[in-house]
């Protein structure tokens, strides 16, 4: 059972070029998740009462085109699978005419808010979300590798407005921070982000970034080199992913 909603791209969601920024694209996908949860009776309060929370562990976003300020768009999500403590979701962002603008494959984990340990998903919870055939987005089997000589940038202290209701740095906020560190003329087509640990208020993150042919890879990490997130942004698609844009 999927969920979708329609929205108009706001001026506040656009950058200097008057098109949707990458972090606000991620915001739309996250919002769609929250709305979907609520629509099947398992909203934020449901999980809070169980002392659990869904945590995004990785996503891959394909950006075929970015809508401009004022454009009408439809955001859709489908639960692909729930097994053990893990869940998979797909997302799409389409124009008013139905043209594919962006798509994503995401991985989630259900964790205890008491001890941070995995919590098994109940059969009735899986049934409520349903299952849908996944988008043919290419599965990334290799981990993102950051070169050892990647340059370290200036420290970033976690501020209160970086946090969400889980008191962690919001998933889209990481993308917001990263996109400010990469070259302005780098047009992102494929975003991969892998989340390894949650940054909280007062933590200090150190970026390490390497610019390569058709890619910018890097990490936001602790002073000791332990990653909060690892990312790989490309200015192109794989041949498999390119076909998703025609769905």
DSSP run (H or E) holding 177: helix 171-179
Q: How far is CA 70 from CA 11, 30, 52, 99, 103, in A?
A: 7, 20, 37, 16, 20
CB of 62 within 8 A of CB of 103? yes
- Which residues, in sequence order, are CB contacts of 129 under 8 Å at separation 6+? 1, 36, 40, 79, 82, 87
The domain spanning residue 7 has which CATH number?
A: 3.10.129.10
d(CA 175, CA 23): 5
Alpha-helix runs per DSSP H in 6-108? 22-39, 44-49
What percent of the chain shows pLDDT beyond 90? 89
What pLDDT is stored for residue 74 in this prediction? Answer: 98
| pLDDT of the residue at 138 | 95
pLDDT score of 146: 94
In total, how many domains does the chain have? 1
- Tens-place pLDDT, residues 34-70: 999 999 999 999 999 999 999 999 999 999 999 999 9
Report if pTM > 0.85: yes
Give the containing element (helix H, strand E) for 178: helix 171-179
pLDDT at position 166: 86
pLDDT of residue 185: 86
User: How confident is the model at residue 221, as a pLDDT?
Assistant: 97
Q: Which domain holds residue 140?
A: 3-246
Scanning the structure block, which residue is given the tokens 């998979």?
88
Residue 64 to residue 210: CA distance in whole angstroms: 24
Through-space distance between the first and last CA atoms of the chain, rounded to whole angstroms: 19
pLDDT at 63: 98
Q: What confidence score (pLDDT) does residue 28 get?
A: 98
d(CA 220, CA 222): 7
Nearest-10 crossing angle of helices 22-39, 171-179: 170
As given in the structure block, the two tokens for residue 108 are 């989630």
Residues (pLDDT < 50) of the chain are none
pLDDT given at position 140 = 85
Position 112 scores a pLDDT of 95
For residues 24 and 66, the answer to whether their CB atoms sit within 8 Å is no
Residue 33 pLDDT: 96
């Amino acid at each position: 059972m999927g969920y979708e909603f329609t929205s108009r791209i706001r001026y506040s969601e656009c950058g200097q070029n008057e098109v949707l920024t990458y972090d606000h694209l991620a915001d739309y996908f996250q919002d769609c998740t929250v709305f979907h949860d609520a629509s099947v009776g398992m909203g934020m309060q449901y999980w809070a009462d169980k002392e659990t929370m869904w945590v995004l562990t990785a996503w891959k976003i394909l950006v075929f085109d970015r809508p401009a300020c004022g454009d009408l768009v439809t955001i859709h999500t489908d639960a692909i699978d729930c097994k053990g403590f893990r869940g998979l979701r797909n997302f799409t962002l389409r124009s008013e005419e139905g043209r594919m603008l962006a798509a994503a494959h995401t991985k989630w984990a259900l964790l205890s808010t008491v001890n941070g340990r995995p919590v098994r998903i109940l059969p009735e919870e899986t049934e409520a979300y349903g299952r849908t055939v996944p988008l043919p987005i290419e599965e990334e089997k290799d981990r993102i590798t950051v070169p050892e000589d990647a340059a370290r940038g200036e420290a970033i202290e976690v501020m209160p407005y970086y946090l969400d209701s889980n008191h962690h740095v919001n998933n889209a906020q990481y993308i917001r921070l990263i996109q400010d560190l990469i070259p302005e003329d780098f047009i992102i087509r494929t975003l991969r982000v892998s989340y390894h640990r949650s940054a909280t208020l007062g933590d200090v993150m150190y970026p390490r970034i390497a610019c390569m042919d058709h890619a910018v890879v890097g990490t936001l990490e602790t002073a000791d080199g332990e990653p909060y997130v690892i990312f790989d942004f490309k200015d192109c698609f794989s041949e498999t992913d390119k076909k998703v844009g025609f769905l």
